[in-house]
Amino acid sequence: MSRVDHAEASSKFIEAKDHADFHDKRLWDLRKKRDSESEAMPEWEQLRSLASAIKEHTLTHLADYLEEFEKNATANGMVVHWARDAGEHNQIVHGILEQHGATTLVKSKSMLTDECEMRPFLENRGIEIVETDLGERIQQLDDEPPSHIVVPAVHKLRGDVAEVFSRTIGTDAGNTDVHYLAESQRRHTRPYYLKAQAGMTGANFAIAETGSFVVCTNEGNADLGANLPPLHIASIGIEKLLPKVEHLGVFVRMLSRSALGSPITQITSHFRAPRPGTEMHVVLVDNGRSERLGMEDFWYSLKCIRCGACMNTCPVYRRSGGLSYGSTYSGPIGVIIDPTFNLRKYSSLPFASTLNGSCTSVCPVKINIHEQIYKWREIIAKRHQLPMVKKEAMRVAGKVLASPKLYRAAVEAAAAGLDHLPRFVVYNPFNAWGRQREVPSAPASTFRQWYVRNRGGER
Amino acid sequence: MNSRAQILARVRRNQPAWRALPEIPSFECPLADPWSAFTSALARMGGTVAVPPEGVALDAFIGTRFPQARVICSATPEVAGTRAISTVRHPAELDDVDVGVVRAVFGVAETGSVWLSEREFGVNALGFLSQHLVVLLDPRTVVPDLHHAYRHPGFREARYAVFMTGPSATADIEGVLVRGAQGIRTLTVIPVAAADAGSATEARRSS
């Protein structure tokens, strides 16, 4: 498997300036909406602490809660399956569909099924899959993975969507009106809900004490897919467990506020048992989660509720786009999860961060994201997986920073250099800091020069 | 060893040291006027509260709000509509419904949500295949926030329970808000006291 080169991939993203600018603006807008919601709730920090503690408790008792969930879900009439990895998950889902003679599946958004690369697996076996979430459908029709876990097509502009839809579902190529495009998808998708033999959802939460699971959406697609066909399959990562119904109050209050800045998703559905005469199957998926649970520094990432707030606030994510991470999970949360799947493949991702800590401060379940990013860097550096340029730069920086004399000389030279060097020297391909931005002009004197002048020399 | 046993064994082996489960505080937040809080929260989410004028029956009122509607499918005895949900055999039969009518069990002031289960829908798809949804709600049932809402016993009884908060919506293209994504295009809440609640007679008169 080849390594993801995040810097290289993002430079392509940045080349399309209109797209890059809009992407940055749109996600920052989501971040601001999140802020006004959280600031309006005096108990916000209390909720974050509770959510974090509930998740940590659940994860440290996870096996018991999984058994409790299974027992209650089974008693409610669901069928519970267990999948060790992506391959087994896909086989289980295929087996259920085959057993029911299902050839068309209407599916709502689920990062887990993306993680398992389920779609190509089923399509190769003759199953027609219709992604029903608008953003996910745009990505499916354009043969691209989602670029954001909440808004999958956020990197596309309306003209791109018009192009994809005119090519695939027969809309008017010249009509880029957003309402027209959304309405076209509504009309195109509706017949599938009526004829599909199976519906599939993910789950935001699974409740041990009731054996039920919760799906939070806005479009109505998940509930159409779950309430029309005679078969409902839900794929659920084992970390989605919560002990009790009362805990949902804490999480549902924060999920959509963190994600989109709305007080709740338009539709928050609780599935406890199949409709009479229909079947409901749950696939509990491990796929690396039980291993991650044993990683001392990294198990906290299992608290994640997939709200995307860390992505929206991250300056690197906003300016590089989700696809540049080369993984289902992008942005800060992706940076700390992806290396647990494949350290070599994703070794560049922990460097796609400024370590500003903003991700940590917006996280509704208090994952120490930026600290984990730093810890991944340590591991990658120890295992010699740093690219040559970075390694050499770090070696030189280490020497310079260790010697006050060298450091002063370097700072003064750099300040002088910035003002006097020709542009092509500062903005050369080896200086990453000179790409896509103007380097600020250096102050007239360094801090030390100012200090020596004003405070009378060294102590 | 089968997958279930393997996963559980690996989880047990790797679980970090036990951490305690915190108590959830009651989050008491007495609202002076839960109904007006509910109304404004619902408006923010794109829903509408509509109050029938004095002396106008519910069927007639719904008719004036949806003059184009040909199929009005009602799941509550308080509204006749043109089709009773009890005649529906398969959810796909609801594809032609212009207006669905249901009675919600309770509302949530914090979010403007209404709580519905398979008992209220009759056929769950009524809440999603209908073009428009009209929800009858007893204003006295509105609880302050989601913490209170999740204490409702319905979550342990219903096969399917849902908070609906305004119409279906999407902002997946350039963040432009489109109301009426794939489910209902509008959601209208009509305050009507429930017949089985305390002062039923008085409430019916005032509606």
Determine, yes or no, domain membership for B18: no
Determine, yes or no, domain membership for B166: yes
Q: What pLDDT does residue A432 have?
A: 64
| Residue A153 with chain B: CB contacts under 8 Å | 172-173
Mean pLDDT of chain A: 93
| Residue A266 with chain B: CB contacts under 8 Å | 45-46, 164-169
Q: Is A293 on the interface with B (CB under 8 A)?
A: yes
Q: Is the pLDDT confidence value at A175 over 80?
A: yes
Return residues 165-194 of B near A (CB < 8 Å). Answer: 165-176, 178, 180-184
What is chain B written as a DSSP string?
--HHHHHHHHHHHHPPSP-PPPPPP------S-HHHHHHHHHHHTT-EE--PPTT--HHHHHHHH-TT-S-EEESSTT---SEEGGG--SGGGGGG-SEEEEE-SEEETTTTEEEEEHHHHSSTTHHHHSSEEEEEE-GGG-BSSHHHHTT-THHHH-SEEEEE-SS-EE-TTTT--EE-SSS-SEEEEEE---TTSTTHHHHHHH-
Q: Is A300 on the interface with B (CB under 8 A)?
A: no
The percent of residues in chain B predicted with pLDDT above 70, rounded, is 94
Task: Say if CB B168 and CB B183 are below 8 A apart.
Answer: yes
Q: What confidence tens digit (pLDDT) does each residue in A257-287 have?
A: 999 999 999 999 999 999 999 999 999 999 9
Of B4, B14, B24, nearest to A290 by CB-CB distance is B14
- Looking at residue A371, its amino acid is E
Q: What pLDDT does residue B183 have?
A: 98
Determine, yes or no, domain membership for B5: no
Residue A433 pLDDT grade (very low, low, confident, very high; cuts 50, 70, 90): low
Least confident of A5-9, A22-26, A241-245, A436-440: A436-440
The mean pLDDT value for A324-342 works out to: 96
Task: Report the gap between the CA of B133 and the closest CA in chain A (Å).
Answer: 13
Residue of B nearest to A252 (CA): B146
Distance CA B178, CA B171 (A): 6
Q: For chain B, list residues with pLDDT below 50.
A: 197-207
| Residue A151 with chain B: CB contacts under 8 Å | 171-172, 175
Q: Domain span at residue B96? A: 32-206
Of B118, B146, B156, nearest to A253 by CB-CB distance is B146
| Residue B170 with chain A: CB contacts under 8 Å | 134-135, 182, 218-219
| Residue A29 with chain B: CB contacts under 8 Å | 175
Residue of B nearest to A162 (CA): B173
| Residue B11 with chain A: CB contacts under 8 Å | 62-63, 66, 238, 286, 290, 293
| Residue B15 with chain A: CB contacts under 8 Å | 59-63, 293
Task: Report the gap between the CA of A398 and the closest CA in chain B (Å).
Answer: 36
Of A29, A60, A189, nearest to B175 by CB-CB distance is A29
Q: Is A323 on the interface with B (CB under 8 A)?
A: no
The mean pLDDT value for A342-354 works out to: 94
Task: Say if CB A205 and CB B204 are below 8 A apart.
Answer: no
| Residue B169 with chain A: CB contacts under 8 Å | 218-219, 266
Which stretch of DSSP H or E encloses residue A180?
helix A178-195
Q: What pLDDT does residue B203 have?
A: 38
Q: What pLDDT does residue A383 have?
A: 84
Which stretch of DSSP H or E encloses residue A231?
strand A231-237
| Residue B7 with chain A: CB contacts under 8 Å | 66, 82, 84, 238, 284, 286, 290
Q: What confidence tens digit (pLDDT) does each residue in A98-115 have?
A: 999 999 999 999 999 999
Task: Report the gap between the CA of A182 and the closest CA in chain B (Å).
Answer: 7
Determine, yes or no, domain membership for B112: yes
Task: Say if CB B144 and CB B30 are below 8 A apart.
Answer: yes
Determine, yes or no, domain membership for B124: yes
Q: Is the pLDDT confidence value at A418 over 70?
A: no
Number of domains in chain B: 1
Residue with tokens 């789950």: A203
Residue A58 pLDDT grade (very low, low, confident, very high; cuts 50, 70, 90): very high
Best of B1, B7, B119 to disrupt the A interface (most A CBs within 10 Å) is B7
Q: What pLDDT does residue B204 have?
A: 39
| CATH number of the domain within which B185 lies | 3.40.50.10420
Domains of chain A, CATH where assigned: 41-287 (3.40.50.10420), 395-455 (no CATH)
Determine, yes or no, domain membership for B66: yes
Distance CA B145, CA A253 (A): 9
Q: Is B10 on the interface with A (CB under 8 A)?
A: yes
The mean pLDDT value for A350-356 works out to: 96
Best of B130, B174, B185, B186 to disrupt the A interface (most A CBs within 10 Å) is B174
Residue with tokens 């690197």: A316
Task: Say if CB A233 and CB A198 are below 8 A apart.
Answer: yes
The mean pLDDT value for A45-60 works out to: 98
Q: Is the pLDDT confidence value at A394 over 90?
A: no
Task: Say if CB A153 and CB A22 are below 8 A apart.
Answer: no
Would you tell me how many other CB atoms lie within 10 Å of the CB of residue B174?
18
Tell me phi and psi for residue A100, to 5 degrees.
-95, 5
Best of A270, A283, A303 to disrupt the B interface (most B CBs within 10 Å) is A270
Instruction: Write down the ipTM of this complex.
Output: 0.95
Measured in Å, how far apart are chain A's first and last C-alpha atoms? Answer: 55
For chain A, helix (H) and strand (E) counts, in that order, are 22, 10
Distance CA A188, CA A184 (A): 6
- Bridge-based pairing of strands B160-164 and B113-117 is antiparallel
- Bridge-based pairing of strands A198-201 and A231-237 is parallel
Return residues 48-87 of B near A (CB < 8 Å). Answer: none
Q: Read off the tokens for B114.
A: 């209404």
Q: What confidence tens digit (pLDDT) does each residue in A113-123 have?
A: 999 999 999 99
The percent of residues in chain A predicted with pLDDT above 90, rounded, is 82
Determine, yes or no, domain membership for B16: no
The sheet carrying B106-108 orders its strands as: A241-242, A205-207, A212-217, A267-271, B160-164, B113-117, B106-108
Task: Report the gap between the CA of A304 and the closest CA in chain B (Å).
Answer: 17
C-alpha distance from residue A299 to each of A55, A131, A304, B51 (Å): 11, 31, 10, 52
Determine, yes or no, domain membership for B13: no
Coil/strand/helix, residue A269:
strand
Task: Report the gap between the CA of B189 and the closest CA in chain A (Å).
Answer: 15
Closest CA to A39 of A258, A357, A218: A258
